[in-house]
Structure 1
Amino acid sequence: MNGLYALKPWYADRLSGLRRALAARQVSPDTLTAAGVGCAAGAAAALAWLPAPLAALPVAVLLAARLAFANLDGALARDTGRTTRRGALLNELGDRAADLLVIAGFLPLAPLWLVAVAAFASTLPSWISLAGAAADAPRRNGSPVGKTERCLLAVVAAASGWAVPVLAVVAAGSAVTAVLRAVWVWRVLGRPGADVATGKAAATEKAEVTGEVVPAVATETAEATETAQVPVAEPPAPAPARTTATRRRPTPSPTLNSPPPRPDRGLPLDPGEVSGSITHTRPQSPADRGTQLRGTR
């Protein structure tokens, strides 16, 4: 059950022409966030200072503008490519400030303790949604007393003067909404595979449904986690290369016909060493040389 929050897409379509005009004039999304807070402050002032029947029209107009600016700032940032983390922070702070300002308009009309309880309870649903988004759960909005319902109840109080009953409904309905969102987030996070599957869903829903800016780190982390869990087929091992055996030429062994190494003693050899075969390996002595010389004369 989303309550009046289900009308947000229809309301966004009605604002498409204004969004294009603002984009053409290069209006900053942060300016629209600040304008929404200003409209909430104006509605609180009208609720506190104007009498019951007369306060209804200005309160209704200013709170409708406050909801319009809350829708336009995020949509304009996405259309113009000016989504930033600081813009997302400013958007959240602006929404919380606007909620508290509207409740503060009841200070002259109801007991202080009831205003304080209603102010605290009205912020609980948003804190639960932000806590769930921090745990990678989709952002939960609406049902049964969300931001839109609280604005409508403030218009009812401005038109009827029933400040105390309206504050009681705001406090009780906001507490019930916070409990329902907490149970829903708890169930989502308890599903198998929620740690991986909800990261990308949270980023998509927050960007497309709530009109809020989501840092790119959230989606990149979810996509990196999904990619890490997908098994990657390993390439087949290459076939062993066929090696060609190289034949080594055998080292020739010494044979009988091979001449032995020639001794080198610094003495002349016998002249009979003229062929391949050695006839004398003994060196000539001086006596042999003399005999040879005598035979040749």
Structure 2
Amino acid sequence: MSKDALLVKDVMKRTADGLAPLPDLVPGAVARGRRRRARTRLALTAGAFGAVSLVALGTAALSGGGSGPDTVASGTGVAAAPAPYRTPVHVAPSPGEAEEDGALAGLPPGERRRLEDFQQRAAVALDEALPDTVGTIRPVDSSVARYQGEKDGSVFQVGFSVRPGDGGAAGECRSVPEKRMTCVKEELTDSVEARLRVAAVNSLETTSTSIAFEIGNSTVLIDVSPDEGKGVSAPVTTQQLLDGVRESGLLDVVRYADEHPVLQKQISVRGG
């Protein structure tokens, strides 16, 4: 090596000795890679689950297992359930209780599978829309309109119904302070006005929180009930509920149910 080359090498070495060592980029890159792989894996799993569900539903429809042309959403995968699977909750009916709204029992296999897939997607969307204080949302195994959250030992029943409307005017919105009931109207989207209600349930000590609105040809009601046994009101404000519905993917689930009904038409809807 020439004298000039040795001189340059020595100057570079002495200059580098005064600098802080370069940060180790490998852990950050590995973590980012893991997160990317996890997201990709989740997307692939959800896609595979949806594809299997749609194939199964299509087979049921072709074999006459469905209940009508809405059993499968043609050209869409909206009804296909996302991963991971949320194990439904079993809630024993009260003695003498009439058949509940949206009951899954007794449905043809294809239609029941469609509604169970709908419940899975709805549970994920409700989880995204509601605050963590309500807990992880799981479907109730008896009805397409029932869900449940549990947090710190308290259990909160969540109702989610998208029902064909009767074409009439929107439900009333009034406040009755002495009964601890308040209702306000707020804009949900540019074309949809929502009615937000807080109401006492069975006593003045515990309250539910709900939102009702019309979209497409349907009336929508989402309500979070208190844990009356523990005296804990629904742990969600009307503003949280409004923002959650507006900013989550729940309206996509609502639009699917509007186009492919999951409940029977009813003249009056509680909370509407």
TM-score (norm. length: structure 1): 0.20
Bigger RCO (CA 8 Å, 6+ sep): 1
What TM-score, normalized to structure 2?
0.21
More strand by share: 2
Q: Which structure would you say has the larger Rg?
A: 1
